[in-house]
Amino acid sequence: MKTKGKWILGAAAAGLAALLAACAGMESGESGISIGSSDLGGVVTGGKGPEPGVWVIAETTDLPTRFTRIVVTDDRGRYLIPELPKASYSVWVRGYGLVDSPKVRTEPGTLLNLTAVPAPGAAAAAEYYPAIYWYSMLKIPAAGEFPGTGPQGNGIQPGISTQRHWLNTVKTNGCMSCHALGTRGTRTIPRDFAHMKSSEAWARRIASGQAMNTMVRNVGRLGTQTALGLWADWTDRIAAGELPFAQPPRPHGIERNVVLTLWDWSKPTAYMHDLIGTDRRRPTINANGKFYGAPENSTDEWPVLDPVTHTATTVRHPVRDPKTPSHRTDPMAPSPYWGAEPIWDSQTSTHNQMMDEKGRVWAAARIRHPNNPDYCRKGGDHPSAKVFPLERAGRHLSMYDPASGKWTLISTCFPTHHLIFAEDADNTLWTSSGVGGLGVVGWLNRKMFEATGDERRSQGWTPFVLDTNGNGKRDEHVDPKQPVDPRKDKRVAVNLYSVVVNPKDGSVWGTSLAPFPSYVVRVAPGPDPTHTALTEIYEPPLPAYGARGGDIDRNGVFWASYASGHLGSFDRRQCKGPLNGPKATGKHCPEGWTLYRLPGPQFRDVKDDGSAEASYYTWVDWYNAFGLGENVPIATGNMSDSYFALVNGKFVTLRVPYPMGFFAKWAEGRIDNPNAGWKGRGLWATSSNRTVFHVEGGTQNRPKVVKFQLRPDPLAR
């Protein structure tokens, strides 16, 4: 009896120990992988043994919106997908040199070994390559064929002066500002157009859908028949079996520590430009809270994601004037994806958002007809109108308060595009005007506006004036086309595309896409910006050209993405010569620049240093929200399904392998819990491809929210 009691107690103790072990996590003695009840883990092997640097993807539709989590295997082929919500998942392996493995159905808390499937040939393997590897096959006119002499000459549009100028348009600041070329949806001809000659099919393709005017205009900038012929040659060669001449490397080093989480939001016919979920100046604001998307021309329904409950909803942006134009009326030819019915119907055209310290969302959005009220225009009595009158503004400002559900619509005389809050007593909201701006920078004094509600008094704008007479103050100035007058200053015809405020001195910085080869622009507002703001412009040295989006770090160094395939930094503190005066017109500080070649192959016909990469924007992680350190510049890899983070002079590639075609235009860093290690930090993005249906998933695909996290090793829980 005594012995039996001991046995019963021993069995109970063993059962309890097993239960505690299960709660603490299961471990595979052979692999050394330890998982908890919400994790998945195992080993990926192929015909030659363990498969390092491949992705394991777990996806479910059991939650309120589609949810996906992706990790990378370590050097022994091991993986661990942490903290999955309770659901049933499809799990499979994807990697370069492979084709997708069969999907296995399982639940969290499982040790699951997987078998990788090698690609049966180079063509099958290349189907998984990012767009850049396909687009770098495009033939580029030789440098000696420029300048353009028109349809009766060399077929290149007059005004395109160099090969670099042509590439600027065929890449970042033309054909790929809204989507990547090289995805399966663009490197093949739609079935609807298969009966046409290839160049005719391309002419018809670019007329499809509501972006027709933009695409036709951009092709015209290159020389229509020449450009269409080159694209036709490209797709013909691919159809005949030609494959990329370069291959992507698998993730290595710290890149294997990345955890990706994806949620669906919005609808298949919509697209996003940006998302926002915290205050750029204080990234702990709105911790664990909702994210808001900027759907630009596609819809007035802002998507809203709650990443805690995995719920995607919408909130409708109103307009002040029912006669506000709608993109539903944009001209178009029928789409091979959606037919003759327009899919975009936005009046507000929300482009970019910022969140303030109260968790309210401010946006560049259209709220009325573009024609400005009289006080903005010539003869108007607004102080800024007396200096530089404005007749029209395509976008204005809005503010959404999630706590109350109320909207505030603000009519601005100046056009808005991107926004940023200054770190000043007035919480000044500075705005850029975008590609087709009117030669001004505008702002809203938020403190005044909230105290008075007076949108007219609270706003202002100013033209860009260089201090070319060098006396340190703004004086009467000559116009852009007039020569420098030693007695006067000079106004320059630039516009800010990106906009950011230097935390060191309150100066306002941004990129100006035109005139080519582009500028970095600095504006020192002074005490009365309408009358005192002074501008400086800086042109990057070759081989860099074609700026798009840029940002500044906390030390005052400006970083920008360039169409040449570079990330460029400009440190004004390194300038040796005068920063104003008659010679300070752009090329006066080459010593302030450093260029970093972006990853990926260069076009074979281009001899310049650089990459075929067409990076849209660079964002700087001020406060180590992601985990690579403070002040890390992160450039969008729009041709590479990636972000590129520059750490100690070398790029770390943060790739989204599924669905293929990830294309971001902004980044958001939020710290949900500064004391929770890697789990409390994240880099956030939304897929910003205008043509979501070009990427993997086709017309069933929806825009995604993507969260990037960096754990200490590939098996960290």
Residue type for position 240:
A
Read off φ and ψ for residue 618, nearest 5 degrees: -120, 130
Quote the pLDDT of residue 25: 55
Lowest mean pLDDT among 64-78, 79-93, 427-441, 613-627: 427-441
In terms of pLDDT, which residue wins out, 13 or 290? 290
Give the CA dihedral 636, 642, 645, 651, nearest 10 degrees.
-120
Q: Against a cut of 0.75, is the pTM above it? A: yes
Task: Give every CB contact of residue 31 below 8 A, 6+ residues apart in sequence.
Answer: 42, 43, 76, 78
Peptide bond between residue 402 and the one before it cis (omega within 30 degrees of 0): no
Quote the pLDDT of residue 31: 80
> CA-CA distance, 412 to 406, in Å (whole number)?
19
Tell the residue number behind the tokens 């046995």, with chain if given: 7
Tokens, residue 182: 């090289």
**Burial letters 511-535, b for 16+ CB under 10 A, else e:** bbbbebbbbbbbbbbeeebbbebbb
Average pLDDT over residues 73-86: 98
Per DSSP bridges, beta strands 49-50 and 489-491 are unpaired
Measured between alpha carbons, how far apart are the two ends of the chain, in Å? 46
Query: Angle of helix 163-170 relative to helix 212-222, nearest 10 degrees?
Result: 170
Per DSSP bridges, beta strands 110-111 and 67-72 are unpaired
- For 698, other C-beta atoms within 10 Å of its C-beta total 14
Quote the pLDDT of residue 435: 84
Quote the pLDDT of residue 24: 42
Peptide bond between residue 342 and the one before it cis (omega within 30 degrees of 0): no
Per DSSP bridges, beta strands 40-46 and 110-111 are parallel
| pLDDT tens-digit series, residues 317-339 | 999 999 999 999 999 999 999 99
Quote the pLDDT of residue 433: 95
Banded pLDDT at 28 (limits 50, 70, 90): low
Instruction: Tell me the torsion sign for CA atoms 134, 136, 142, 147.
Output: positive
Instruction: Say whether pLDDT at 165 is over 60.
Output: yes
Instruction: Say whether pLDDT at 149 is over 80.
Output: yes
Average pLDDT over residues 219-225: 94
- Could you tell me the residue ranges of all domains in the chain? 26-126, 131-239
Instruction: Tell me the torsion sign for CA atoms 189, 195, 198, 201.
Output: negative
Task: Give every CB contact of residue 33 below 8 A, 6+ residues apart in sequence.
Answer: 27, 41, 42, 43, 78, 80, 111, 715
Banded pLDDT at 39 (limits 50, 70, 90): very high
Q: Closest Cα partner for 318 from 292, 285, 350?
A: 350
Instruction: Say whether pLDDT at 10 is over 50.
Output: no
Quote the pLDDT of residue 29: 59
By the 8 A CB rule, do 605 and 140 touch? yes
Read off φ and ψ for residue 178, nearest 5 degrees: -120, -15
The topology under which CATH files domain 26-126 is Immunoglobulin-like (2.60.40)
- The percentage of residues in the chain with a pLDDT greater than 90, rounded to a whole number, is 94
Banded pLDDT at 41 (limits 50, 70, 90): very high
**Burial letters 92-111, b for 16+ CB under 10 A, else e:** bbbbbbbbebeebebbbbbb
Instruction: Say whether pLDDT at 441 is over 90.
Output: yes
> CA-CA distance, 253 to 607, in Å (whole number)?
30
Order the strands of the 593-597 sheet from edge to edge: 547-552, 558-562, 566-570, 593-597
Q: Closest Cα partner for 519 from 461, 468, 592, 581?
A: 592
| pLDDT tens-digit series, residues 195-206 | 999 999 999 999
Average pLDDT over residues 644-659: 98
Average pLDDT over residues 679-689: 97
> CA-CA distance, 444 to 457, in Å (whole number)?
9
Task: Give every CB contact of residue 294 below 8 A, 6+ residues apart in sequence.
Answer: 272, 273, 274, 275, 276, 302, 350, 351, 352, 353, 363
> CA-CA distance, 85 to 310, in Å (whole number)?
9
Order the strands of the 534-538 sheet from edge to edge: 477-478, 489-491, 465-466, 534-538, 519-524, 508-512, 500-501
Residue type for position 626:
F
Q: Closest Cα partner for 299 from 337, 268, 341?
A: 268
Is residue 523 helix, strand or coil?
A: strand
Mean model confidence pLDDT for the chain: 95
Quote the pLDDT of residue 285: 98
> CA-CA distance, 336 to 30, in Å (whole number)?
52
Banded pLDDT at 312 (limits 50, 70, 90): very high
Please state the separation of Cα 109 from the chain's center in Å: 35
Q: Closest Cα partner for 421 from 350, 354, 363?
A: 354
Tokens, residue 621: 């992680």
| pLDDT tens-digit series, residues 150-163 | 999 999 999 999 99
Quote the pLDDT of residue 22: 39
Quote the pLDDT of residue 436: 80
Banded pLDDT at 637 (limits 50, 70, 90): very high
Banded pLDDT at 11 (limits 50, 70, 90): very low
| pLDDT tens-digit series, residues 263-297 | 999 999 999 999 999 999 999 999 999 999 999 99
- For 576, other C-beta atoms within 10 Å of its C-beta total 9
| pLDDT tens-digit series, residues 584-615 | 999 999 999 999 999 999 999 999 999 999 99
> CA-CA distance, 197 to 556, in Å (whole number)?
53
SS (HEC) of 415-455: CCCCEEECCCCCCCEEECCCCCCCCEEEEECHHHHHHHCCH
> CA-CA distance, 157 to 150, in Å (whole number)?
5
Instruction: Say whether pLDDT at 259 is over 60.
Output: yes
> CA-CA distance, 122 to 126, in Å (whole number)?
6
Read off φ and ψ for residue 706, nearest 5 degrees: -125, 130
Average pLDDT over residues 533-545: 97
Average pLDDT over residues 407-411: 98
By the 8 A CB rule, do 430 and 494 touch? no
Residue type for position 458:
S
